[in-house]
Chains A and B, each alone.
Chain A
């Protein structure tokens, strides 16, 4: 799943550690999400969207894939 996390984070001048602290996850988790190695849970995805004051679909894009 693609996401705009790295761009949104850079716009605010936050490091991965800063964003992780605000979300309650580790820097490694932020990195894994940004690089697409880890798809966040729905709870975390909502927390991320809420932090950036955006809709969840404005942060994450699953290319309309259906499993």
Chain B
């Protein structure tokens, strides 16, 4: 017997979600690949964090839908006797962990020189991402999710604002990153509370794709690929 689908697995319009995830994964992997040679030649830390951010974005969107898609559509859970609810929890956990790490790495790629590069900071990011993933996947209430995302969004925006407030250059990058973080938070809320933003779903998807496309365009233009 086919198990009942979970709202996280297939909320509404699985086709739209799959295309959306696929486009974001493709953009992220293209950014990662386009910067490979520059990093291999220079071993520059800022480049390393920038690339890792996009690798984590790709991983996050892979976990978001593709794992469930493959498991359910190819009936792998019947063969391996997985519980789909358990798979849903793991996928959500991995999505929240990867997307949080992506945001932290993107922020760190801009801030690493000011924050004095240290391994303990990366460990702290991992720990924070694990806590966010655990809270988000275990307590899927509206209040917890909203508060968690708002705190993170305020923190990330504040750090970005401090970093760019005195700079003449880089204002467009500040706006792009800020919008990316806002849409990341909306994406997380959209997954944790599917009905909360359902009328704005398509708008969130299109705006997120637009932002990734802008970043990819800038990367390809500057990387000379």
The finding on whether chains A and B are genuine partners in a shared complex, rather than unrelated, reads no
